[in-house]
């Protein structure tokens, strides 16, 4: 009887070890994006500024422009190009005959998405200026991607 009980205990212990070892740990989209962006910045020797609030995006000013910095109450027209960081595929660009425009304080919207990086960059520019934003996918599309 004792021998039989110990063999059941051994089988039970083996099953517990087997079941607990099957649990998989997945890397979050945030950490994957952060690593890929850090590699891209390093590989291309880019001089970028990290979001002052630490939310995860980077930006650089390619042309400062002239005059005074934009304020939230200033009306601004701009054009954008959305590209893949890794293969350069262009997903969206403002048509040549169109300029997007609104008050700087309302520029969080980008193609129906909430992208506060737009406003952050615009407040660092002057009229005629240009910049580049490196935005992690989860900041634009959420952790599960974009659904319509």
The predicted-structure confidence for 58-112, as pLDDT tens digits, reads as follows: 989 999 889 999 888 888 888 888 888 778 888 888 887 777 777 777 776 655 5
**pLDDT tens for residues 2-54?**
455 466 666 666 666 655 655 567 777 788 888 888 898 898 898 988 887 77
Q: Which residues have C-beta within 8 Å of that of residue 91, sequence separation ≥ 6? A: 82, 83, 84
148 pLDDT band (50/70/90 cuts)?
very low
CB atoms within 10 A of CB 117: 23
- The verdict on pTM exceeding 0.85 is no
* Nearest-angstrom CA–CA distance, 33 and 15: 37
Helix, strand, coil in percent for the chain, rounding step 5: 35, 20, 45
113 pLDDT band (50/70/90 cuts)?
low
Assess whether pLDDT exceeds 80 at residue 115.
no
Per-residue pLDDT, 68:
92
* Nearest-angstrom CA–CA distance, 20 and 94: 51
Helices (H), the chain: 2-21, 29-43, 117-122, 137-141
């Amino acid at each position: 009887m004792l021998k039989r009980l110990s063999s059941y205990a051994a089988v039970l212990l083996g099953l517990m070890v087997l079941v607990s070892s099957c649990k998989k740990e997945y890397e979050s989209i945030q950490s994957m994006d952060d690593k890929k962006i850090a590699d891209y910045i390093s590989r291309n020797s880019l001089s970028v500024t990290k979001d002052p609030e630490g939310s995860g995006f980077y930006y650089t000013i390619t042309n400062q422009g002239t005059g005074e910095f934009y304020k939230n109450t200033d009306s601004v027209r701009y054009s954008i190009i959305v590209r893949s960081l890794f293969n350069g595929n262009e997903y969206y660009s403002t048509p040549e005959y169109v300029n997007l425009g609104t008050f700087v304080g309302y520029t969080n919207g980008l193609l129906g998405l909430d992208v506060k990086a737009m406003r952050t960059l615009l407040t660092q520019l002057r009229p005629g200026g240009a910049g580049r934003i490196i935005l992690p996918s989860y900041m634009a599309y959420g952790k599960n991607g974009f659904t319509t």
